[in-house]
Amino acid sequence: MLTVGLTGGIASGKSIVARMLQEQGCHIIEADLVAHEFLKPSNPVAQRVVAEFGPEILGPGGAIDRAKLGEMVFGDPQKLARLSALTHPPVLEEIVRQLEEIARKDASSIAVVVAALHVESGYYKNFDRLAVAWCTREQQLSRLMNRGLTREQAERRIASQLPLDEKRRLADDVIDCSQSFEDTRRQVEEILSRWKKIR
C-alpha cells in the first residue's frame, strides 16, 4: 500500500483534491474528521480540552464550539501548542489504526491522509509521499472571508501555519489549486498515474 500525506495551508484546496482522489478510488482519511470525534462531549479528550480552556469554549448544547476554540487558540502559539498536545496524540493513533485496517483489506491500494499540519507536526516523514495543495495567499484570504471570517481572523489562521512555500519545498508532489477545477483535476490525474506506478 502506498501512503500519502496530503497537506497545504488552510483554504488551499486540500478538500477538493481529496474528493477528486476519492472519486478515483483512493482511500481518504481526514484528520479533521477524526479530530471531530475526539471533541464530542462524551470523549475524555474533549473533557480535557474543556478543563484546559474553560467552559467559554462550549456552545449552547454543551458541546465544544470549534469556532470559539479557534478564536481562542489561533494567534496564540502557546495555546495552540497546548491544544495540539491534547488532541494530536489520540488523533495520530486513530489514523495509524485506520491505515493498518486499510492495508489489511486492500494491500495494493493508495491511502491518503489529509491534514493541515503534517509538516508542522513532523508526521509527514511517516508517509511514502508528501503532496501539497497550493494556492496564493490572497486566494486563501478570500476563501476564508467567503466562509464568514473577517480579514483579521483569516490572517491569524494563515499565520498560525507554516507558509505554503515552505511546505512546497518538502513536497514530492504539488497540486496548484489556484486555477480552475478542471486544471486541478488534470494535475490530480497526472499525479495519481505516477502513484499507481510506484505503489
Per-residue confidence in pLDDT tens, the chain, 199 aa? 999 999 999 999 999 999 999 999 999 999 999 999 999 999 999 999 999 999 999 998 889 999 899 989 987 889 999 999 999 999 999 999 999 999 999 999 999 999 998 998 899 999 999 999 999 999 999 999 999 999 999 999 999 889 999 999 999 999 999 999 999 999 999 999 999 999 8
Query: Which distant-in-sequence residues (6+ apart) come within 8 Å of 46 by Cβ?
Result: 38, 39, 40, 64
Report the pLDDT value the prediction gives residue 125, as an integer from 0 to 100: 95
Cβ proximity of 49 and 90 under 8 Å: no
Q: Which grid cell sits at 40?
A: 464530542
The SS3 call for residue 63 is coil
The CA distance from 168 to 91, in Å, is 24
Instruction: With residue 2 as reference, give the H or E element that holds it.
Output: strand 2-8
Contacts with 103 (C-beta within 8 Å, 6 or more apart), sequence order: 1, 109, 111
Q: What is the pTM of this model?
A: 0.91
C-alpha cell recorded at residue 34: 477524526
Ordered structural domains, the chain, with CATH? 2-194 (3.40.50.300)
